[in-house]
Structure 1
C-alpha cells in the first residue's frame, strides 16, 4: 500500500473511528434500560472497533488489523440489522411477537452472519477450498447489505406517521451507508477486485451517517415506533428481496463466467448481464407474477388474505373517480376485478323498462347483445341468496347451488369465472361477471364475503347514480313545463291578434290596405305558431279509449303528407292490419320515425316503410340508409328524454314514441350502425274484436 493510499485510509477511517467513539461514549453516559438501547450500544461499538482496526492497518500495514476488521464489518452490519428487526416488532395483547414475515428475515440474518464469520475464520487459518473464499466473503457481504436495506425500507414504510419524524434520520443515515457498500461489493464481485478509491473513502461515508443515527437516538427516547405491518409493504419488501437475490445470483454467475471463460470471459459476462437485466424487466412488468406473489404473501404470512383497510380505500377511491355514468359502470367492474386479480369483467344492469338485464359496461371482455329476463331463475337466485356464483365450483358441484340452471350466454362466455350480485339488501340492481384470475386463487369464505360487501357498496353507488339521473330528468321536465307556460302565453297573444282581425273584417273587408295587413298578420301568426311548434313538440294525452285502427290507412296518409313536402317514401303493405291504439297518437309516432329517417338521409337515399303480420303482432319497419347511430347512443341515450342527435331537436319525440308503444303493449327494436343506416321496428298487438269487452274493462279499470 503506497503512502497516498495509506494517508487516505487513515484520514477516512480515523474520522469514522472518532465519530463513532464519541457516539459510543454518549450512549454510555446516557445509558437507558431496554433491549433496543443495548443493541444500538453494541452496534455503535462494533462500528468504532471496525474503524479503529482499519486505522491500525493503514498505519502499520500489519495483516492482523485487516483480519480483525473484516469480522467486525460482518458483526457491525448484523448488529444494525438486528436493531432494525427489534424496531419492527409489534405489541399485541401485552406480549411482544414477531410478525410472520419478519421471522424468515431473522433466520436469514443469522445465516448471513454465521456464514460470514465462518468464511473469515477459514481465510484466517488459510484453509484450501475449491472456490476462492474471498469471493464468497464478498458475495455474503453483499447479501447482508441487501437484507439491511430491506429492513430499512420496511421500517420506513410501516412506521406510524407520528413516529416517522424520529425514525427518519436513522433510515436516511443507514440507507446511505448501505447503498455505498452495495456499490462497493457489487463492483468487487463483478470485476474481482475492490475499487481502491471507493474503499478509501468508505470511512467518510459511514462517518457522515453517524450524526443522523445520533439524531434519531436523541429524538426517540424509548424507540417505540408502534409499527403496523401492511400487506402492501410486505409485497414491496418481498419484491425487493427477490430482486436483491436475483442480482446476487447474476453477480455470482457473471463472476464465474468471467473467471472460467478465458479470453471470452468479459464478452460472456457483458452478454449475461444484459440478458439478466432484460429478464428482470420482463418479470417486473408481469401482472401474473405480481398477482401470484401477492396471493403467496397473503396466504402464508398473514392470518387474513386481505388488508381490508387498503382494499376498501382502493375500492372506494375507484368508485369515486370523476366521470360520467358509463365511466362509473366500468370502474365498478374494474374495482371488483382487482379484488380477486381478475383481468376482465362485465356489468349487467336493468334496462329502462326494468323487465330485463343488459350488458351496461365491459372491461377487457367482448360486448354481448343478449339479455337476461329479470324474472329468470338465475336473477331470482342472485336476489334471494346474495351468493357469489363460482362457475368452476358450479360445474364440479352443482348441488351446492340448489340445482341452479345458468343462462346460455353465461355458459358461452369465454373465461367466465365469478358472478357477483350488485345491489342492496332487497333489490338486485345488476351483477358483474368476472373472468378467470391471473393466478390460482382459492375462493373461500373470505373472498366471498369481501366480494358480497363490495357488491353492495357498488350497488349503493349505482343506485345513487340512477336516482341522480331520475332527478335530473324530473328537473328537465319541470323546466319543460315552465317553457310550456311561456308558449301558451304566446299562443294566447296570437289568438287575441287573430280574433281582433276577424272582428274588424266585417267593416273593412273591402279595404285593400286592410286586406294587405290581414294577409301579413296571418302570415306572421302562422310563422310564429310554426316556431312555437318547433320549440314544443308535445301532444296532449287523449281522453278517449284506444280503438281498432287500420295501419294501412295511417301509413298512406303519412306517405301523401311527405309527398307534398317533396319526400319520396317506398311503402310495402302485405295485408290490412288493425291494431288497438289512438289513431292520432300512432300517426304521430310513425310520422316522427319517418321524419327522423328522412332527416338522417340524403335526397338520393331511399326511406322505406314495411308492414307485415308476425303471429299476433303487426310488425312495422322504418328503414333508411342514412348516417346511423352508434351502439352507445342507442343503449344510453336514444329513448331518454332530451337526448337527440339533431342540432335543433329537443329529444322528446323518441321518448314519447317509446313510452306510448309500451303503453299499448308493444315493443320497439332499433338496429343501426354509423354510416350504414337505421332500422326501427315497431311490434304492435293486433286488434281482435272477440277480446274487445275484456280490453274495455281493463281500460276502464286503469
Structure 2
C-alpha cells in the first residue's frame, strides 16, 4: 500500500471517530433521565474542525509511520499512537452510551432499535479490536484492514437497514410549503447543471469532446424544460402534490387555507360572493378540476350555482332526495370508499350513480350549520390519480363550516334588508294613504254639501280652500311616488326555464298534493 493511501486511511479514521463521538454524545443526551444536557453545536463543530486540521497537518508535515513490505510500522508515543488510543476510548465510550440508551427504551422501542444497536456494537467491536492490536504490536497488517472493512460494512449495513426499515430518522421539521415550492425550480436547475457538468467531466476523462452544436442543444433542452415547468400549472400542482404527500405529515396547510378563506370573506355581502370565495379556495388547494356547489335549504331544495359552471346543465336536488337523506346521517358521500356493510351507501350507488357520473363527481360533501344543510360541494377525481382521504375531509369540514356561517349570515342580512324595505314601504304607504284618505274625505264632504250651499259666497270660499288643500296633499303623494320610482330598478337574470318550472311545480305539489302537473 502506498504512502498516500495510508494517509487517506488514517484521515478517514479520524473522521469516523469524530462522527462516532458525536453520536455517543447525542445518545447520552437522549438517555439522560434526570434532565436534558445542554450541548453547544457550534463548540462541537469547532472542536471537530480543529482535530481534523491537526490531523491533516501531522499526516502531511510530520508523518510518524513507515511502510515495510506492505506492513505499517507505528512509532511509540507519536501521533498515530495517540490517534489509535483516542479511537479506542471513543468506541468504548460509545458502547457504554449504547448500553445506557438501550436500557432507557421500552419494549416497543427496543423492537425498532434492535438492528441499529446490533450493527453499532459490531462497529464498536471491530474498531476496538483494530485499535487494541495497533497499540499492542505497533503494526497495521493489510489483512487486518481487509477484515476491518468487511466488519464495518456489515455493521453499517445493519445500522442502515434498521434506520430505513423503522424510519428512525423520521422527525418533524416545520418548514413552510411556500418556501419548499419556491425552491423547486432552482433545485431542478441546479440538478440539471450538475448533471450536465458530470457528463462533461466523464467525457473529458475518457478523452472525448462535446461538439458546439450538441452542447448548446442540451443547454436549450434543459432551459426549455425549466420554462415548461414554470408555465405548466398542472405539472406544478403534481409536484406540489408529491411534496405534500411524501414530505409532510398533513396534505394541506389547514391554517393557511382557513386564513385565506377568512380574508376573502371579509368583503363578501351575498351568497354568490361566498360561493365564489369558496370555489377559489377549493380550486387552489384541492387537486381536482371538477368542483360543483349547490345552494338552498331543506324546504325548497338545492340549485346548482350557475356562475361557476357555465358549460354544465343545472341539476336541481329536491329536499326529499335520497342524497340529502344520506348526508343527514353521514359526514360525506365518497363513491371510491368501500363500505360493504353500509346498505344505505350501496343504495345510493345504485340509484344515483348515473347522476354523479354525468358530472364526474366522486365526493359529495354537505355545507352544514348545526343539523341544517345549506348546500352541497361536489368534487371530481384528483388529476394526480390519488384518492381523497382524511386530510381532504378535514379541510372540507373546516371550509364548509366557515362557508355555512357566512352563507347563514348573508341570508340573515338579506332577510333583514327585506324586512327593512318592507317597513319603509309600509311607512310610505301609510303616509300616502293618509293624505289620499284626508283629501278624499274633504272632497266627499264638499260634494255632499254642495247641493244646498253652492250659492253661498262663504261656502264657495271654503270650497276653494278645500280643493287647494286636496291638491297640495296629492302633490306630496306624487312627489313621494316619484322618489320611490327612481329607487326601483329591475334586475335582469338569466334562468333555465325548465329548471324554473320544475321548482314551481315542486312547490305547488307540496301545497296541493292532489294536483298532477306534467311538463313536456
State the TM-score bracket (shorter-chain normalisation). 0.5 to 0.7
Aligned mates of 1:685, 1:502 — CA distance in 2: 55
Query: 1:34 aligns to what?
Result: 40
CA deviation string 1:496-549 (max 9, x = no partner): 542453355232269898899998887777776666677789xxxxxxxxxxxx
CA contact (8 A) 1:315 1:335 kept: yes
1:241 to 187, 195, 209: 187
Counterpart selection for 1:391 from 310, 325, 335: 335
State the partner residue of 1:334: 280
Alignment correspondent of 2:240: 294
Tell me whether 1:277 sits opposite 2:223 in the alignment.
Answer: yes
Q: 1:335 to 1:395 in 2, by over 3 A?
A: farther
**Closer, same or farther: CA 382–284 of 1 in aligned 2, 3 Å:** same
2:493 corresponding residue in structure 1: 630
Assess if the C-alpha contact under 8 Å between 1:343 and 1:435 holds in 2. yes
**Structure 2 alignment gaps of length 5 or more:** 1-37, 57-104, 106-171
Give, in angstroms, the shift of residue 662 of structure 1. 6.7
Aligned to 1:484: 429
* Distance change (3 Å), C-alpha of 1:503 and 1:43: farther
Q: 446, 457, 462: which is aligned to 2:391?
A: 446
Moved more, 253-262 or 433-442: 253-262
Alpha-carbon distance, 1:320 to partner: 4.1
The reply to whether residue 360 of structure 1 matches residue 321 of structure 2 is no
Matching residue of 2:296:
350
The match for 1:473 is 418
Q: Which residue of 2 aligns with 1:457?
A: 402
> Structure 2 vs 1, CA of residues 252 and 475 (structure 1 numbering), >3 Å: closer, same or farther?
farther
Tell me the CA shift for residue 363 of structure 1. 3.6
SS in 2 for 1:421: strand
Offset of residue 244 of structure 1: 2.0
Q: Residue 275 of structure 2 contacts residue 293 of structure 2 at CA under 8 Å; is this kept in 1?
A: yes
Change (3 A) 1:331 1:536: closer
TM-score, normalised via structure 2 length: 0.54
1:374–1:523 Cα change, 3 Å: same
Match of 1:433, SS?
strand
SS in 1 for 2:305: strand
Alignment match, 2:319: 374
Inter-partner Cα distance in structure 2 for 1:275 and 1:296: 24
**Conserved 8 A contact 1:420-1:431:** yes
Corresponding residue of 2:263: 317
Provide the C-alpha distance between the structure 2 equivalents of 1:430 and 1:503, rounded to a whole number of angstroms. 63
User: In 1, distance between residues paired with 2:496 and 2:411?
Assistant: 17
Deviation at 1:372, TM superposition (A): 0.8
The CA deviation at 1:431 is 0.4
Find the counterpart in structure 2 of residue 436 from structure 1: 381
From the two aligned structures, give the one with the greater strand fraction.
1
State the shift of 1:445 in Å.
2.9
The within-5 A match list for 1:74-473 is: 228-250=174-196, 265-320=211-266, 322=268, 324-350=270-296, 354-361=299-306, 363=308, 366-387=311-332, 389-393=333-337, 401-404=345-348, 405-406=351-352, 408-413=354-359, 415-473=360-418
Distance in 2 between residues matched to 1:42 and 1:247, nearest whole Å? 32
CA distance 1:630–1:253, shift in 2 (3 Å):
farther
Counterparts of 1:362 and 1:629, CA distance in 2: 15
**How many Å separate the matches in 2 of 1:251 and 1:321?**
53
Give how far 1:426 is off.
Answer: 0.7
Give the superposition deviation at 1:418.
1.8
CA 1:367/1:516 → structure 2, altered by over 3 Å: closer, same or farther? farther
- Cα distance 1:393–1:228, how it changes in 2: closer, same or farther (>3 A)? closer
Q: Please tell me whether the aligned partners of residues 291 and 438 of structure 1 are also in contact (alpha carbons under 8 angstroms).
A: no
Looking at secondary structure, tell me which structure has more helix per residue. Answer: 2
Q: Residues of 2 paired with 1:406 and 1:391: CA distance?
A: 11
CA displacement at 1:368 relative to structure 2 = 2.8
Q: Which residue number corresponds to residue 168 of structure 1?
A: none
Deviation at 1:664, TM superposition (A): 11
Q: Distance in 2 between matches of 1:369 and 1:392?
A: 24
- Structure-2 change in CA distance of 1:361 and 1:314 (3 Å): farther
For normalisation by structure 1, the TM-score amounts to: 0.41
Cα distance in 2 for residues equivalent to 1:37 and 1:400: 65
1:631 aligns to what SS in structure 2? coil
User: Which of structures 1 and 2 has the larger relative contact order (alpha carbons within 8 angstroms, sep 6+)?
Assistant: 2
Name the CA distance, whole Å, in 1 between partners of 2:411 and 2:226: 47
Report the secondary structure of 2:292's partner residue.
strand
Describe the shift of the 1:256–1:365 C-alpha distance in structure 2 as closer, same or farther (beyond 3 A): farther
Distance 1:230 1:249 in 2: 28
| Offset of residue 432 of structure 1 | 0.9
- Residues 22-57 of structure 1, C-alpha deviation per residue, up to 9 Å, x if partnerless? xxxxxxxxxx9622233257669999xx9xxxxxxx
Partner residue, 1:592? none
Which residues in structure 2 correspond to 1:592-611 (within 5 Å)? none
